[in-house]
């Protein structure tokens, strides 16, 4: 495990976030199904471990009986598994880190009645072998387990000969990711009819069979989920120009712009309570918690229970990491309560500048989670003594150049091989 020390300070300069990992997963899959994987533009090395896993699995799909190594990427697994089933390819899926512990029984319930046989441990997780040929028909699934189950089905069902219908039995969470899936499919010539709203139980999607993905030039958007760390650094007193983001993006994590603006205006007006519904933006929770800890207010994050099944239990790991450096965060059943202390701490220190320390600093464990690592780095900017982040190499999963960029922008970074 690698440690990195990040000292207090201010970042300055221009930063362009990496391509959207969520957008890239979908574009790479559609391009591969169109027979032109090279048509996806806007990706540049170093590639995240998640995208490398998707590229590797797509290449392996052409080999019946191949082992598809999803690494630690839940997105890779959930989007590609239904496609392998639709192609009738016997496939063995494996993974690493916490991915083998993530539950997969839902896929057996969704795909099993439609011709797919599952062979996996009693725990219902990886390693998993599927066989059989997926059949068109009526599918029912919950919308509150993971939007990736729905996105995977949407990508796969057009490959079948017959028509299919997907019915949601609960309201859909992380709905913007499904919108992203549908938008990408349309760009590659595949259409889906949405016959009811996703926000209510009973939402439906009608998928015509016999469709073919068509080659097209596709440029991946820049990533709001990674930009969130730089935008929060600005909220914390840095002076960054965050470039390349599309104002018209359907990325759900674009919500960070609105949340930070709400925090700023609320503090100016003396607001003392905030509630953030994270059901559509779960990946933002760690960095929202860092911003909220800097407020003279109590912030409650709700509807985030699915974070317990990410690279770490993100509710527990965010709580432990931020409390280790002097924040006051309480874990709830489905979220977090952050008791901010910016105003009181500035009173106690006599320092009334916007960059006065909020966190004491110290040693914090990222739990091997890339989003916890990057959130801690941003928190360190407003710390008194700096933060030593354990497991900092986890950024390779989604943003390999994060610390290089952090250092380039003037951050005090030591202890990690940044090459």
Give me the active site residues, please: 283
Rg over alpha carbons for the chain, rounded to the nearest Å, is 22
Q: Which residues share a beta bridge with 390?
A: 3, 365
Q: Strand 91-94 and strand 116-119: pairing?
A: unpaired
Rounded to whole angstroms, how far apart are CA atoms 322 and 338? 10
User: Of 66, 91, 71, 72, which is closest to residue 81 (Cα–Cα)?
Assistant: 91
Half-sphere exposure of 281 (CA within 13 A, CB side): 25
Cα four-point dihedral sign 45, 50, 54, 60:
positive
Find all residues with CB under 8 Å of 50, minimum gap 6, and list them: 21, 25, 71, 72, 73, 75, 76, 397, 398
Question: Hey, is 399 helix, strand or coil?
Answer: coil
Rounded to whole angstroms, how far apart are CA atoms 280 and 284? 10
Residue showing tokens 């709203």? 197
Q: Strand 239-242 and strand 12-15: pairing?
A: parallel
Between the CA atoms of 114, 116, 119 and 120, what dihedral angle is there, to the nearest 10 degrees?
-60
Question: Hey, is 325 helix, strand or coil?
Answer: coil
Q: What are phi and psi of 115, to 5 degrees?
A: 100, 5
DSSP string, 96-140: -TTGGGS--HHHHHHHGGGTEEEE--TTS-SSEEEEE----SEEE
């Amino acid at each position: 495990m690698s440690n990195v020390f990040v000292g207090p300070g201010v970042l300055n300069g221009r930063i362009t976030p990496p391509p959207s990992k969520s957008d890239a997963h979908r574009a790479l899959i559609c391009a591969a199904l169109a027979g032109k994987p090279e048509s996806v533009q806007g990706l540049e090395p170093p590639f995240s471990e998640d995208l490398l896993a998707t590229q590797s699995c797509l290449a392996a799909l052409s080999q019946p009986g191949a082992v598809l190594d999803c690494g630690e990427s839940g997105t890779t697994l959930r989007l590609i598994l239904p496609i392998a089933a639709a192609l009738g390819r016997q496939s063995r899926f494996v993974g690493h880190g916490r991915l083998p512990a993530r539950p997969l029984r839902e896929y057996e319930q969704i795909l099993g009645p439609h011709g797919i046989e599952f062979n996996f441990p009693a725990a219902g997780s990886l390693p998993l072998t599927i066989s059989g040929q997926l059949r068109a028909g009526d599918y029912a699934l919950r919308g509150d387990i993971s939007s990736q189950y729905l996105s995977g089905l949407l990508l796969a069902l057009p490959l079948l000969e017959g028509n299919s219908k997907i019915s949601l039995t609960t309201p859909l969470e992380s709905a913007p990711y499904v919108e992203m899936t549908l938008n990408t499919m349309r760009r590659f010539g595949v259409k889906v009819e949405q016959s009811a709203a996703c926000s209510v139980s009973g939402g439906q999607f009608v998928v015509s069979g016999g469709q073919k993905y068509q080659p097209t030039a596709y440029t991946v958007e820049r990533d709001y989920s990674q930009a969130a760390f730089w935008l929060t650094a600005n909220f914390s007193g840095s002076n960054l120009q965050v470039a390349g983001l599309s104002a018209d993006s359907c990325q759900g994590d674009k919500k960070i712009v609105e949340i930070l603006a709400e925090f700023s205006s609320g503090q100016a007006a003396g607001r003392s309570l905030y509630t953030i519904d994270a059901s559509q933006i779960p990946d933002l929770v760690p960095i929202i918690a860092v911003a909220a800890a800097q407020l003279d207010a109590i912030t409650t994050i709700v509807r985030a229970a699915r974070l317990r099944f990410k690279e770490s239990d993100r509710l527990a790991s965010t709580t432990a990491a931020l409390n280790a450096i002097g924040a006051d965060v309480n874990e709830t059943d489905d979220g977090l309560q952050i008791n901010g202390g910016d105003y009181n701490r500035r009173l106690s220190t006599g320092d009334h500048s916007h960059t006065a320390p909020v966190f004491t600093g110290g040693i914090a464990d990222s739990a091997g989670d890339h989003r916890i690592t990057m959130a801690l780095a941003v928190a360190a900017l407003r710390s008194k003594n700096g933060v030593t982040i354990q497991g900092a190499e986890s950024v390779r999963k989604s943003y390999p150049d994060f610390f290089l960029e952090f250092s380039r922008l003037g951050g005090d970074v030591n202890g990690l091989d940044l090459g």
